[in-house]
Structures are given as C-alpha cells and as structure tokens.
Amino acid sequence: MSAAQSGLAEAAQVVRTAEVRSWLYVPGDRPDRFDKAVTSKADGVILDLEDAVAPEQKGEARAQVLAFLATRPACAIAVRINPLERLIGLEDLALLARAKDGPIAILIPKAEDQSMIRLADHLLRDGGSASALMALIESARGVVAVANIAQSTPRLAALMFGAADYAADLGQQEASFRADHARAAIVNAAALAGLAAIDSPCFAVKDSNAVKSECASARNFGFFGKAAIHPSQITEINICFRPTEAEIAHAKRVVALSSGGVITIDGKMIDMAMLRSARRIAPIRT
C-alpha cells in the first residue's frame, strides 16, 4: 500500500468512526477564527469556501485555507469547496489535491449523483491526495439519489445533511419544516454503506434549548453527530453524541469478549447487531 493509500484509509476511518462527532463551520475568509476553532471543543473544523464567503473574497479565502493547512493544525480539518459544476469548485479541488498538507476530508456541496463524487475521487487520486470525501446532501435530487451517492467510492467517508438548502429547494422555511424523510434517507444510506451521518447545524445560535432539542432528535434518527455554526453549540453536541467513558468501556468489553456469535455479558444477551454497534464505539480514545 502506498503512502497516499495508507493516509486515505486512515483519514476515512477517522471520519467514519465515532471519533469526529461535532463539526464547527468557519468562514474561509476569516483566518482570525481558525486557531480559535481548532482550540475549541469541536472534534472537527470545516473551513468553508462556499456559502460563507462572498464571491469577491473566494480567491483570498482559498489562499488563507491552504496556508493554514500548511501549519498542520492539531485537529481534524475538512474543507467545503465550491460546487463542482463551477470552475471555481474545480479550482478549489485541484489545489487541495496537490496540497502537500491537505485536509482530512473535502466536503462536496450539493451532491446529487455518483458522477460528482467519483469525479472528485479521480481528481484527488490524480493529485496524490490522501483526503477523504464527505458529501453534502441538500437538495431534493440529492435526497432521491443518496443511496447511490453513498456507494460511489471507498474514499467517501460521510454524508452530511444541509437542511437550509433542502428546505429552500422544497419552498419551505427551515425553522418550521420537518425534513424527516430526508434525514431518514440519509441515515439509512450511510448505514448501508458504512459511512458517518452528520446532521445539519442548528441555526438558532443563541438558543441552547433549540440546539439540545435538535441534537436529541438527530441522534434518535441515527445520526453520528451534528455540524455547528458557532462554538457555543459544541458542548451540547458533544454531550449528546459522544459516548460516555462507561459506554466506551462497555463497548470495548463487548468487542473483546465476543466470538462472533450470541453471548451474554452481565446477564444481557449480546448479538451481532449489538457487536456492530460496539465496534463503532470501541475505537474512541478515552
């Protein structure tokens, strides 16, 4: 296995497992916030080159993001590029593909079919990049195609839901629209492909109760974690989605004692479904 292949496998595994549950969005043209985001309690940081950056600032934002990646920040860093249907998105991807110090993952916005994800995979491979891919599902077409998108390439490590764009696509208001079907479709597709499923951010930045409520709902749907648009949201996300030390210890015990069949631990039956769940939790560092 080449160094690039080994790095890709490691990056994809980190994103797929329970290690990274809270993702904090940071505008790519605000380098003053990069270090603060890395030292926050977020498991991962998404440097955004798309919606958070004005058109006239996109070139500068890309340069700032590449410069920051070169410092090798001690945090899981993903970069959301511009749409691949636009030249600027292809330019984003090409530069990241060639970057000596690339992000752990590249978030593809408006993912709507397999060809889009496979194109990104081919370009990253051509550039020798070890970055994993994350697909942002944020349109009606994307939701319909999500099962196929999830199976597009081994480089794909996560599906993320974009609630605001999805609601707009359906002519609804994000604050009041219940996107249950979309969330269920994304979680199901992620589970089938062995990917992480990350929920959309809560846009009520100053409402901690709203964040808590959305986190509980997302976890009940089966999401691995949730994105955030402000550091104040991270604590609630981590509390909701990150397993406790007791849960991690129990998962490790299940994995260690299981022989692949049905066993009993502390008087409770452990079957293969429970073993799979434990294996998702067990790699987490306490």
Give pLDDT tens digits for 73-127: 888 999 999 999 999 999 999 999 999 999 999 999 999 999 999 999 999 999 9
What average pLDDT does the structure give for the chain?
89
pLDDT at position 67 over 60 = yes
**Who wins on pLDDT, 4 or 20?**
20
pLDDT at position 286 over 50 = no
Write out the H or E segment, with its range, that includes residue 52. Answer: none
Of the pLDDT bands very low, low, confident and very high (cuts 50, 70, 90), residue 1 is very low
Confidence (pLDDT) at 276: 67
**Prediction pTM value:** 0.88
Per-residue pLDDT, averaged over 8-27, amounts to: 80
Structural domains in the chain, sorted by start: 3-242 (3.20.20.60), 243-286 (no CATH)
Give pLDDT tens digits for 150-180: 999 999 999 999 999 999 999 998 888 899 9
Give pLDDT tens digits for 223-245: 999 999 999 999 999 999 987 77
Q: What is the DSSP secondary structure assignment for residue 55, as one 8-state letter?
A: G
Dihedral sign computed on CA atoms, order 7, 8, 11, 16: negative
**Who wins on pLDDT, 255 or 58?**
58
Which of 247, 238, 235 has its CA nearest to residue 280? 247
Of the pLDDT bands very low, low, confident and very high (cuts 50, 70, 90), residue 4 is low
Give me 194's structure tokens.
Answer: 């062995």
Crossing angle between the packed helical segments 87-98 and 58-69, to the nearest 10 degrees: 20
